[in-house]
């Protein structure tokens, strides 16, 4: 079970965008794409078959999952996440500091 999922609100802990908050758009292996974080300029050639214009496009680039922390709205900062296995075998994400469930 991943500690960070699509739709989670995270805080960037390292790099040029340290301290920024955003929602996870995509999780791919050990990388995540966060909205409005790690914006890069991509020079693209036009593709008439797809109707895509050329030029310089700004978009989010992936960052490593170790450089983000899940945002806890109760404390207002990023916190570590652990996994708790329930009696019936289901897994639940919990904040390490308080033990409260993330998905509650």
Is position 53 within any domain?
yes
The CA distance from 44 to 1, in Å, is: 36
DSSP reduced 3-state for 29: coil
Under 8 Å CB-to-CB from 99, ≥6 apart: which residues? Answer: none
Is position 20 within any domain?
yes
Is position 52 within any domain?
yes
Is position 102 within any domain?
no
* pLDDT the model gives residue 77: 92
The CA distance from 104 to 102, in Å, is: 6
Residue range of the domain that includes 60: 8-95
Band the pLDDT of 104: cuts 50, 70, 90: low
Q: CA-CA-CA-CA torsion for 36, 41, 43, 48, nearest 10 degrees?
A: 20
Q: Is the dihedral of CA 24, 28, 29, 35 positive or negative?
A: negative
pLDDT tens, position by position, 32-47 = 999 999 999 999 999 9
């Amino acid at each position: 079970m991943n500690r960070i999922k699509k739709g989670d609100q995270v805080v960037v802990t390292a790099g040029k965008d340290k301290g920024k908050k955003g929602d996870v758009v995509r999780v791919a292996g050990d990388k995540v794409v966060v909205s409005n974080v790690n914006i890069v300029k991509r020079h693209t050639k036009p593709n008439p078959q797809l109707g895509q214009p050329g030029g310089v496009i700004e978009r989010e680039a992936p960052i490593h999952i170790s450089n983000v922390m899940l945002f806890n709205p109760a404390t207002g900062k990023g916190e570590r996440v652990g996994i708790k296995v329930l009696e019936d075998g289901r897994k639940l994400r919990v904040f390490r500091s308080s033990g409260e469930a993330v998905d509650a």
